Amino acid sequence: MLISLVYVSSAFHLMSEEDLLELLQAARKKNQELNITGMLLYHHGNFIQVLEGEEADVMMMEQKIKQDVRHHTMIILIKEPISERSFPDWSMGFRNIDKLSKEDREGLNDYLDLPWTLEYWSSNPSKAQKLLANFKAVLR
């Protein structure tokens, strides 16, 4: 069974471009092996990630990510069965929102004005899901 998992978390320390690149390169390699797809966003020291794949693989990855010392307060927003993937071509799409270009910002204004705190996303999980879908559309 395919599932989708969306969570938010806070970085322990602000992540540099190099830190993020290192995290992503390892994640993409592993995700390809496990056929996990999705997207990771980073903004103001917080992460939002969607992971899609076979339930057992996604749950194993959830445990691994939860133990990662680079972040804390991992809050699961959505965990649900899906009939098909929303990010089939992305072993892990990524955007550092702090570094978006002006053109990208214009397409995403409604979302960039939101508070982007863990509290906000926890209270508005479907907004986080919409946000990820919109990023996919604008950043493709």
Residues near ligand FMN (CB under 6 A) are 9, 23, 26-27, 30-31, 40, 47, 49, 51, 61, 64-65, 68, 70-71, 92
| Rounded Cα–Cα distance for residues 82 and 4 (Å) | 6
Minimum CB distance to ligand FMN smaller for 70 or for 95: 70
Minimum CB distance to ligand FMN smaller for 47 or for 121: 47
| Rounded Cα–Cα distance for residues 35 and 78 (Å) | 20
CB of 47 to ligand FMN, least distance (A): 4
**Six-digit token string for 86:** 């929303």
CB of 7 to ligand FMN, least distance (A): 9
Task: Establish how many alpha carbons lie within 13 A of residue 61's alpha carbon, considering only the half-sphere containing its beta carbon.
Answer: 29
| Rounded Cα–Cα distance for residues 100 and 36 (Å) | 25
CB of 40 to ligand FMN, least distance (A): 6
Minimum CB distance to ligand FMN smaller for 38 or for 111: 38
Minimum CB distance to ligand FMN smaller for 73 or for 106: 73
CB 9 within 8 A of CB 66: no
Task: Establish how many alpha carbons lie within 13 A of residue 51's alpha carbon, considering only the half-sphere containing its beta carbon.
Answer: 28
CB of 102 to ligand FMN, least distance (A): 26
